[in-house]
A and B are shown apart, each in its own frame.
Chain A
Amino acid sequence: MSPVLSGVLQLLALVGALALAYVPLGNHMARVYSSKTHLRAERWIYKAVGADPDAGMTWSAYLRGILAFSVAGVLFLYLLQRLQGVLPGSLGFSSVTPAQSFNTAVSFVTNTNWQSYYGEQTMGHVVQTAGLAVQNFVSAAVGMAVAVALVRGFARSRTGDLGNFWADLVRGTVRILVPVAAVAAVVLVACGVIQNFSGIHEVGQFTGAPQQWNGGAVASQEAIKELGTNGGGYFNANAAHPFENPTPLTNLFEVFLILLIPFAMTRTFGVLTGSVRQGYAILATMAVIWLGFTALMMWTEFAHHGPALQAAGGAMEGKEVRFGIGGSSVFAVATTFTSTGAVNSFHSSYTGLGGGITLLGMMLGEIAPGGVGSGLYGMLVMAVIAVFLAGLMVGRTPEYLRKKIGAREMKLAACYILVTPALVLVLTAASLALPTPPHSMLNPGAHGFSEVLYAFTSAANNNGSAFAGLNANTDWFNTTTGIAMLLGRFLPMVFVLALAGSLAAQRPVPVTAGTLRTDKPLFSGLLVGATLIITGLTYFPALALGPLAEGLAR
């Protein structure tokens, strides 16, 4: 069997597994978010919070809940790192510096998991397990909650009630993320991912001196890292490290976990809005973009253009033998077209065009299929823009899911899609204009520019992967990427929730013969086009200076 065929078969197996999980998981999530009952553990948590889980919230109350929870998360995680040196169970690692603690706290709370530190020599058991892994769960649950609130905005009418944030947060964690992650973690251990709390200990080697290993609760964190589209590695090498991703089977399983919830949420959306066909249209849009770019990635990586790769005879720099080029390409697209940012191979050493695809995936706003929750709400905002464009073409007031898309809705959608490009382009330009930040670049020329562009694209879109040659542990990058992550996470949430509030307040318009059918392939095509043209072209000049210049060089 040729490596290309093996790559294609792995992709098909993945599609099959995702298709099998789509309906059961999508329906389950719809039931969870519309359930009237509370589990005993949930009641206990609500009591501790002091919240009434049955009380409806307006969009602004919902947003205040998110912000309060996230501020608490950042402060807690910051303090945990600053105090690491005196905490027990820290393997003797010292406290993390203020700038890096800030950056890491923001990074994990915003579901980004950008890492300017080396996992295995910076973070001990307590920070990893009780700090970083916790945010892997709850930041994912926050994203899902916002998506569900937007879906309720479409589904409900003449109300201010978007649901209860605390209930959505707790249910998403307890009924969706924890059970799936627990099963996945055990599967990963069965395949060789480590799960222990041992200290640093010596292990003999075949020749020479013994190695020193640190143990860790890796499988439990790896499971939620992929399932929650977080991406922060326990080790520096992330999912390329054999203790995080030991076999080709775990590799495909981890990609499956990454894509599982983002795709299934389109089913949840369909069920909650009363038309699963609307969900299929969104699903089709996401799937077309994801499959198309995975195919392109395989093509460029197997072709291995670039002087060093030509000299080597294959694009194996930064890739593991057990995954090969096919398994690495599938992972790279899945991780950057969602908000994951885990890597099983190092994007910086990909072909110029391959690296460009990982960048473009993030620039599209990570909506194919996107992060847990954030992928769905990102794509729904894009759908709002697409119906507006279609409305302009035929001269009708645009509607989506029986809600009018008026001036207020369009302003909010437009603000949403402007936030991340503004952050990325301004901060990249500033970094290049200032005298010191360019010293962080590892590679010369176009690729060095791409490293900086990648850093801010990754941060503002809450991805977390990197062209990791860039030395991001400087005060400038720790601070600016921290700001990009915060604004790139919470400003879009403000606009999404405001949009949800405005949609929920409307009365539904009747469907007529003139209504644009948004559950048809034509609409999916329109949506693919809108996504590629609007967000893709925003970045075209920057892409031309970086990956295109590198990829098209002779």
Chain B
Amino acid sequence: MKNSVTTGARLFGAGLRALLALTLVTGVVYPLAVTGVAQGLFPGRANGSETEADGRVVGSSLIGQAYTLPPEEGQETPEPDLRWFQGRPANGLGTNTLNTEYRLLLSGATNLSAGNEDLVRQVEDAKAAVVKDNSVPGHAVDPSDVPADAVTSSGSGLDPHISPAYAELQTRRVAVRNGLPVARVERLVEDHTEGRTLGFLGEPRVNVLALNVALRELSAQR
């Protein structure tokens, strides 16, 4: 009995030493070396691809933002600021629960199933809002023209992109709200539409932050 206990302890000791040695290799040397190379070669990307406009950081080109009006008193969800192009809904972000001293950038999906009535309602409400917000005098948005990405939450809740169709759908509203000609805003969207990478990877898309930064510059010029 004593023998098997000592054998077990010896074996556990060997396992622990192997773990610590491999921790040194894979948990200290490896990440530090990768960090060194990353910070040396690609400092901008390694630190979050921050985007500047007018000399100040306005976010990351990779992270979606909310373009909302300052919330009024007692208001829980702020209203969208319709001067700017709007990103996708983000209904699954969650809240800062464990560390309330922070207002951390959180990520998450709704995880609602395709048959869930709450999700059906979310989609229908979002579609009605998109139609209402984007219908301008003389041009009513047809609900069947609203693309799927405009009414669904993304996987991360931080999707920086919208489909070219959703961007196009917003051009009239944005033009009216900013006092710009529709054709000019349409060209802005075209200029900011990325095709598929290498022609076949992923989907065509528009980066909402880059588009809004360019829109603000355009409005300021006038």
Q: Which listed residue, A76, A311, A322, A348, touches B19 by the CB 8 Å rule? A: A76
CB-defined contacts of A191 to chain B, threshold 8 Å: 45
Q: Are B18 and A321 in contact (CB under 8 A)?
A: no
Q: Which listed residue, B45, B94, B96, touches A190 by the CB 8 Å rule? A: B45
Interface residue ranges of A217-274 to B (CB < 8 Å) = 217, 219-221, 224, 235-237, 240-243, 246-249, 251-252
Q: Are A207 and B14 in contact (CB under 8 A)?
A: no
Alpha-carbon distance A351/B212, docked complex (angstroms): 34
Q: Are A121 and B148 in contact (CB under 8 A)?
A: no
Q: Are A317 and B112 in contact (CB under 8 A)?
A: yes
CB-defined contacts of B35 to chain A, threshold 8 Å: 195-197, 217, 220
CB-defined contacts of A196 to chain B, threshold 8 Å: 35, 38-39, 46-48
Q: Which listed residue, A93, A205, A221, A304, touches B98 by the CB 8 Å rule? A: A93
Alpha-carbon distance A214/B197, docked complex (angstroms): 29
Interface residue ranges of B147-166 to A (CB < 8 Å) = 147-149, 151-163
CB-defined contacts of B120 to chain A, threshold 8 Å: 307-308, 311
Q: Are A350 and B111 in contact (CB under 8 A)?
A: no
Q: Are A467 and B111 in contact (CB under 8 A)?
A: yes
Q: Are B115 and A445 in contact (CB under 8 A)?
A: yes
CB-defined contacts of A195 to chain B, threshold 8 Å: 34-35, 38-39, 46
Indicate whether B135 reaches chain A with its CB closer than 8 angstroms: no
Q: Are B106 and A220 in contact (CB under 8 A)?
A: no
Contact with A along B3-30 (1 / 0, CB 8 A): 0000010011111111111110111101
In angstroms, how far is the closest chain A Cβ from the Cβ of B11? 4
Alpha-carbon distance A71/B8, docked complex (angstroms): 11
CB-defined contacts of B144 to chain A, threshold 8 Å: 313
Contact with B along A118-131 (1 / 0, CB 8 A): 10111000000111
CB-defined contacts of A178 to chain B, threshold 8 Å: 25-26, 30
Contact with A along B39-68 (1 / 0, CB 8 A): 101100111111001001111101111111
Q: Are B155 and A305 in contact (CB under 8 A)?
A: no
A118-B109 contact given A51-B14, A219-B34, A319-B155, CB 8 Å threshold: no
A211-B105 contact given A6-B196, A186-B34, A189-B46, CB 8 Å threshold: yes
Indicate whether B103 reaches chain A with its CB closer than 8 angstroms: yes
Of B170-178, B183-191, B199-207, which stretch is located at the interface? B199-207
Indicate whether A537 reaches chain B with its CB closer than 8 angstroms: no
In angstroms, how far is the closest chain A Cβ from the Cβ of B34? 4
CB-defined contacts of B66 to chain A, threshold 8 Å: 207-208
In angstroms, how far is the closest chain B Cβ from the Cβ of A153? 22
CB-defined contacts of A346 to chain B, threshold 8 Å: 92, 109-111, 155
Q: Nearest chain-B residue to A253 (Cβ)?
A: B201
Indicate whether A166 reaches chain B with its CB closer than 8 angstroms: yes
Indicate whether B119 reaches chain A with its CB closer than 8 angstroms: yes
Alpha-carbon distance A6/B154, docked complex (angstroms): 20
Q: Contact residue range for chain B? A: 35 or more
Alpha-carbon distance A467/B114, docked complex (angstroms): 12
Contact with A along B128-151 (1 / 0, CB 8 A): 000000000000000010111101
Contact with B along A300-323 (1 / 0, CB 8 A): 000011111101111111111111
Interface residue ranges of A293-342 to B (CB < 8 Å) = 304-309, 311-324, 326-328
Q: Which listed residue, A92, A248, A315, touches B201 by the CB 8 Å rule? A: A248
Indicate whether A34 reaches chain B with its CB closer than 8 angstroms: no
Q: Are A204 and B56 in contact (CB under 8 A)?
A: yes
Q: Nearest chain-B residue to A447 (Cβ)?
A: B113
Q: Are B12 and A68 in contact (CB under 8 A)?
A: yes
CB-defined contacts of B17 to chain A, threshold 8 Å: 48-50
Q: Are A203 and B57 in contact (CB under 8 A)?
A: yes
In angstroms, how far is the closest chain A Cβ from the Cβ of B198? 8
CB-defined contacts of B18 to chain A, threshold 8 Å: 45, 48-49, 51, 69, 72, 166, 169-170
Question: 10 other contacts beyond A237-B158, A314-B148, with CB at 8 A cut-off?
Answer: A49-B18, A134-B19, A191-B45, A196-B48, A197-B35, A204-B58, A241-B107, A242-B159, A312-B152, A550-B114
7 A-B pairs closest in CB distance: A248-B202, A306-B114, A314-B148, A240-B155, A68-B15, A324-B203, A469-B111
Q: Could you list some 12 contacts between A and B, CB below 8 A?
A: A50-B14, A121-B106, A134-B26, A169-B18, A178-B25, A203-B59, A220-B35, A311-B124, A314-B148, A318-B154, A321-B161, A327-B202
